[in-house]
Homo-oligomer: A and B are copies of this chain.
Amino acid sequence: MNYCNLCGSTVRFEIPPGDNRPRHICNQCGEIHYLNPKIVAGCLPVHQDKVLLCKRAIEPRIGFWTLPAGFMENGESTRQGAARETLEEANARVSDLQLYTLTSIVPVSQVQMIYLAQLDDLNFSAGDETTDVQLFSEDEIPWDDLAFQTIRNALTLYFADRKKGIFPLHHVDLATPPGQYIDKP
């Protein structure tokens, strides 16, 4: 960040009075610009013994398989964001959304929320950011061609939980630096 997006003046990077970390502060109007983590919301859509995956049409990880997910927008709930991304990427409608994995991806300041969801119908198809959408049973999952570690985690947890018949929230912190705020696992 080099300029204030309110008045267009240059910014400096220093700790504001009463704060404890440096922020971008406008040299003209004094506005303090805060940078905060972004939420990625998505679904793990289930139909009978299969799950729905999307083949990515865009970078990063073009050509690899993923769950439908993307950045949450202003003016929606986390569940609405997860359902909207599923509709946009897979033209798929889902119900009964239940928070399943909550992952803080600390190095990139993202919080990923994946909802377990039931696919409403089989009229899905590739959206703009997707080249293919398919249902996969456990032994059909393209484990070597998954786009992200968080997707692999969610699928691994899901098939393990399905054998037990319970689907608790899985709370994961990735690459958490050592420090005083570490919670017990």
Contact = CB atoms under 8 A, between A and B. Distances in A.
Contacts of A164: none
A162 interface: no
Interface string A1-13: 1111111111100
B3 A8 contact: yes
Q: How large is the interface on A (under 10, 10 to 19, 20 to 34, 35 or more residues)?
A: 35 or more
A48 interface: no
A134 interface: no
Contacts of A7: 2-3
A150 interface: no
Contacts of A71: 34, 36
A33 B5 contact: yes
